[in-house]
Amino acid sequence: MSRARPFLKWAGGKTSLLPQLLELAPAQINTYYEPFLGGGALFFALQAEGRFQRAVLSDLNRELINAYTQVRDNVDALIRALSVHQRKYRAADDRAEYYYNIRRKRLTCSLGGAANLIFLNKTCFNGLYRVNSQGRFNVPHGRYANPTICDEANLRAASAALQGVELRVADFCAAPSRARQGDFVYFDPPYVPLSTTSNFTSYTASDFGIPEQRRLALTAAGLARFGAKVVLSNSGHPDIKRLYTSKEFVLSTVSAPRMINADAAERGGVEEHVIRAQAELVFTSWNARGGQVAEPRPFLKRHPLLGRRRTATRPPALPARSRSLWRASKR
């Protein structure tokens, strides 16, 4: 069987950055967490190399997780449904009309919903996934001469790669909350846009703005203190550089191709940040009687994200919502 590749196109997909990301990933991983799943390029690459024992893939996009679930559990039926789409679409006198008829249907968490999502993804403008405030898919029809809607070989390879993988609809903070030493977490959130024309953060009905970016930084720092290896990707925006400029993070700059732009002349390489979280403090363990096993080491006195620190022997709870994050940052 051929090596599995992402079966969905995704804005900001990481196929071009896989060499750098694979170099940062541990050689042996107990549990791999990817809370912003998207196309899953890094997951498929790590799975092909046999680097992890188990994986937890998650996203707030229910329709996306449903598509992965159907690929994992019902690949034969999904291939049949996509073959029908491919035959009808290619034979249609007006392909745009066929596309918009499918787009008008609400995407559901079902086999048919997964087939419709994959069809729209393969035939829409630049493979972009975008929804409006009501959560309805609203990307216009693309201009492909002969798109491959049903890639049977890759769907079967992806189904095999997903066997035994846990798929969850969950917030990025909740999904990897159990990550510990020996685990690896990769965050690939909606990027802070570099311009008004590159604002592709509407993967769900709710936006992913600066408050969520701050909560993500805090979550990454907290997981690193639990002993997990944590890597993040984001745009080359100055706010991201300021957010991750501290002793808790190592930030490097890479050039990545970006092909989603209405103006073809504006497509090309853009600057992105790859960020590695590193722990300032390894929390001490406690025995069954509540006794301390080792002496704690103190936090730094102050941190630009978390504010003042105290000596700690138990790990703090990860932030759950933006409001509590704001209060934590003011302590």
Mean pLDDT in residue range 297-323: 46
Q: For the chain, give every domain's residue range.
A: 15-60+170-277, 70-155
DSSP conformational letter for 283:
P
Contact assessment for residue 200 and residue 12, using Cβ atoms and an 8 Å cutoff: yes
Q: One fold for both 15-60+170-277 and 70-155? A: no
User: Does the pLDDT of residue 83 top 70, yes or no?
Assistant: yes
Q: Show the DSSP H helices in the chain as ranges.
A: 18-24, 41-48, 62-73, 75-91, 95-103, 111-123, 152-162, 210-225, 238-243, 322-329
CATH topology of domain 15-60+170-277: Rossmann fold (3.40.50)
How many DSSP H helices and E strands does the chain contain? 10, 9
Given 3-state DSSP classes, what are the helix, strand and coil percentages for the chain, each rounded to the nearest 5?
35, 20, 45
pTM of the model: 0.81
Band (290; pLDDT cuts 50, 70, 90)? low
pLDDT beyond 90 at 295: no
Tens of pLDDT along 243-270?
898 888 999 988 776 654 444 444 456 7
Topology (CATH level 3) of domain 70-155: Adenine-specific Methyltransferase; domain 2 (1.10.1020)
Q: Are 256 and 269 in contact (CB under 8 A)?
A: yes
Six-digit token string for 83: 């073959």
pLDDT, tens only, 5-59: 999 998 777 888 999 999 999 999 999 999 999 999 999 999 999 999 999 999 9
